[in-house]
Chain A
Amino acid sequence: MLSFVEGATAPRLITPGEIEVVVGLYRDSMARYEEAASVLEHRLRRELRAAAIKTLVLSRAKHPDEVRRTLVELRAAEDPANPTLTFVRLTTELNRVVADLARARVIVYHPVDEQAAFELILRRFPLADVPNPIEHKADRARASRALVDLDESFDRPSVRGSIVEVQVASISSHIFNELEADIGYKTDDASAPRGVTEGIEDLLHLSRLTDRAVERLLDARRQRLLDAEHPLESPEDLRHALEHSVGHTLTGDFMRLFRLMDSVIEPLTSGALAGLGSTEAMLERGVQIAAELGLHETGGDDDVLCYTLALMPMFAPEFQELAKSWRGPANDMKTGILNWKKA
């Protein structure tokens, strides 16, 4: 517990002039937040692509004018007798007070993909040590938000310690969220012109309608993949075919799995997958093999790794030859393939 020493002044609510100084300091260091957002954007894009989740990823740093507005709003909500928003705090840990100085947006086709993408983010990125690092909005605006900590796993020292807000939303929800936030008024704002209120309501209905249309579209596309002779032409197709056969979502690097399987099976179809064996049984077998190989991602944390290991009795020479040529740092999949030995 802090106590005030003699001569020290009590915490004092930040003044508008001091806010302007803080905004100026932020402007000077804005390049760092641009870089942090960009670094995470690239990592997100790579991870989501590997997981065969189609997304559009965007990033940017918060504009100084938005920072000013946020600080003014925070100041207005403060208790002047016991303020937490002090000049000293804002000059030393602005990013912890305004956690969305660096932002990344992950836009997916449909709310179902939103869940898959968000779960991947929670699994693959460290959360910031701040209050409420995860938030789900499901009333009018629909989105999931995570505050990610750029820790030592990120190569660039200049961005380490930064917090980046990652928001995941479907295409239609993204449009609604942005327009409501930028143009709309708060729903309880009685001064909102009727036309604006009605426009926002129309947009909300259109957004929900678009989500349903996208769902039907994706269902129709995925239905074709269940035809035993229809080729699986992408990592997304492979993911959907395998997920359908087990009845739940699966995790892992589907891009690598697709490259492996596409190189050794022709045509690669749902029928071919069925011929290889029950997906459920193969995943169980793969978990055992992963444990025997001492891989840390076992117990179903990485379904693709387990499925790949279960394929090894049939494709070991080919997979090992292909894995040897993979560039980049070793990962569990490469290690598992290269270390696998016939029992």
Chain B
Amino acid sequence: MPQLKLNDLVAGLLSRTGRYSELVVFADDLAEVAQLRIGELPLELTPLDHAGVHFSFRERGQTFKLEVSEDGVARLSKLEGTEKRRTVLQDEAPHGAVPSAALRTAVAKKGDGWAAGLVLGLLVGPVISGSTKSRKVLTVRFNGADRTWKAYDGGLVRWMKRELPASD
């Protein structure tokens, strides 16, 4: 059962005063991905392609980009500059194949015994100066009770860093 909504992702991304540019979560935790899988286009999303991979939406006066990936993750980032919007016909819903694959992969990564209610995410920041590819990140956990993201340093840190890769 997905526990996250788009506004939870936005709250997580903006919660740490612009220190991070991307929030990566497992695709099956996001309600909107479940809708996309069955061919429904959530009202707030605007498709940026027909493959069902990239979407934009506005929240809190800002524009964001949502990427759904076949490797089982959903990535949220701020959409800077002009939106490169593909012409999408009014009645044309994006293809549900990618969201469907994303969900399957996410569920497979977690396994049947995944702890109920555990929602993890990776905040991705800039590359550390002087380092070739290491970035500042923060591993976080969603707290459903108050809908906030808390820093997480539990036993799944190494695993989630591997399974929630940042976009290149």
Contact = CB atoms under 8 A, between A and B. Distances in A.
**A joins B in a complex:** yes
B31 interface: no
Nearest to A269: B134
A262 interface: yes
Given A266-B122, A315-B136, 11 more contacts: A229-B133, A263-B139, A263-B153, A265-B128, A267-B133, A268-B134, A269-B134, A274-B131, A276-B130, A318-B138, A321-B151
B134 A266 contact: yes
B137 interface: yes
Contacts of A322: 151, 153
Given A263-B138, A263-B152, A263-B153, A228 B132 contact: yes
Contact of A272 (B16, B122, B128): B128
B18 to A, nearest CB: 12
Nearest to A233: B158
A166 to B, nearest CB: 30
Q: Name the 5 nearest CB pairs between A and B, nearest first.
A: A275-B131, A275-B130, A272-B134, A321-B151, A275-B128
A275 B134 contact: yes
Interface string A231-273: 0010000000000000000000000000110111111110110
A317 B19 contact: yes
Nearest to B130: A275
B101 interface: no
B133 A262 contact: no
Interface residues of B, number: 24
Contacts of B129: 275
A176 B92 CA distance: 77
A206 to B, nearest CB: 37
B104 interface: no
Contacts of B19: 317
9 contacts: A233-B158, A260-B153, A263-B139, A263-B151, A263-B157, A265-B134, A271-B133, A317-B19, A322-B151
Interface in B42-91: none
Contacts of A314: 136
A299 B4 CA distance: 47
Interface string B126-168: 0011111111111100000000001111000110010000100
B110 to A, nearest CB: 20
Interface of A: 228-229, 233, 259-260, 262-269, 271-272, 274-276, 314-315, 317-318, 321-322, 325
A315 B138 CA distance: 10
Nearest to B129: A275
Contacts of B150: 321, 325
A315 to B, nearest CB: 8
Contacts of B161: 262, 266-267
A266 B131 contact: no
A265 B130 CA distance: 13
Contacts of A315: 136
B153 A265 contact: no
Contacts of A272: 128, 131, 134
B90 to A, nearest CB: 41
